[in-house]
Chains A and B, each alone.
Chain A
Amino acid sequence: MGIFSYFRSKKATAQVAKNRLQIIVAHERAQNSGYDFLPKLRQEILLVVQKYVHVELEHINVDVNRDGDCEVLEFNVTLPDSKS
């Protein structure tokens, strides 16, 4: 840190890097959870749900979330508008 750099206002970029990493890493961990069967599981759930309600594959979300030492397998099925 020379005398000149005191006059230059510089933003600390390490914090920006850390924030960006935390977001992307959390996102990618959810996607690459190590369970190769997730896409197939999603397909099969679709078939079961379709017996009762008409939904598309995009309405079904399967995620693995880590909560401390615990892994949570989470399903989300968005049902279509009942009136349509």
Chain B
Amino acid sequence: MGKIIVVTSGKGGVGKTTSSASLATGLARRGFQTAVLDFDVGLRNLDLIMGCERRVVYDFVNVIQGDATLNQALIRDKRVENLYILPASQTKDKEALHQDGVAKVLEELSSRFEFIICDSPAGIEHGALMAMHFADEAIVVTNPEVSSVRDSDRILGLLQSKTVKAKNGEVVKEHLLLTRYDPERVQRGDMLSVEDVQEILAIPLLGVIPESKAVLTASNSGEPVILDEVSDAGQAYDDAVSRLLGEDVPQRFIKPVKKGFFSRLLGG
């Protein structure tokens, strides 16, 4: 039985898709059979971030409606073995992602894959609720910023009330992934610190992804940023994958980089 992990946030633009793509790629690189699913019907983007947008033939909704088999719709990643992408539909109605259909697709996936990563749409509407509904674990992507933290708290409430696990009296295991973190601004007192966010949300920390230029360059070329192994963001995602697998890895990117005398003097 594969493990179903939803990547969610409530707020848009905090890095759900970037994180889904990188975490799925990281898991597959370590030899786990991994599928990553886009639940954002009408606004699909995972295919672009994964660099497989030209290879989409069938999508999630086609599989649910029986127009294609799961095998026909899954796109095999060309760079990493064991990694498959199920794109969202760009044209169909959002309601097409109904609960029974999603349940069937996830059931079939979980017999074949060890990890199923569900990239949730923003908001707390149907698509987001479907993405989290069958989850065993949740990665809550949060920016160190007031509106994102508030929305994450809201999502945490839904995870523990609207999911199958919650309805069976179980708990969805939660992880905090803090993205776009700028240690220098934190040190200056301009940005909420990891500790601040953790104190408010009170869930275990999976990782801190620093604000990084590598994220944009990676998405420009359709390569999950985790494959950019020299970048800070890539390394931070790789550490997060280790922690997801239960390893104890220290946080590396929460302190400002020490600067030379001149750059400090000039404020560079």
Contacts and interface: CB of A to CB of B under 8 A. Distances in A.
A32 B149 CA distance: 16
Contacts, number: 59
B200 A18 contact: yes
B230 interface: no
A76 interface: no
Contacts of A2: 264-268
Given A3-B266, A21-B149, A21-B150, A32 B188 contact: no
Interface string A1-26: 11111000010111101101110110
Contacts of B211: none
A2 B129 CA distance: 46
A28 B154 CA distance: 8
Interface residues of A, number: 22
B150 A1 contact: no
Contacts of B166: 34
A17 B265 CA distance: 29
25 contacts: A1-B188, A2-B266, A2-B267, A3-B265, A3-B266, A3-B267, A12-B189, A13-B190, A14-B191, A17-B145, A17-B146, A18-B196, A18-B199, A20-B146, A21-B146, A21-B150, A25-B149, A25-B150, A25-B200, A28-B153, A28-B154, A32-B154, A32-B157, A34-B160, A34-B166
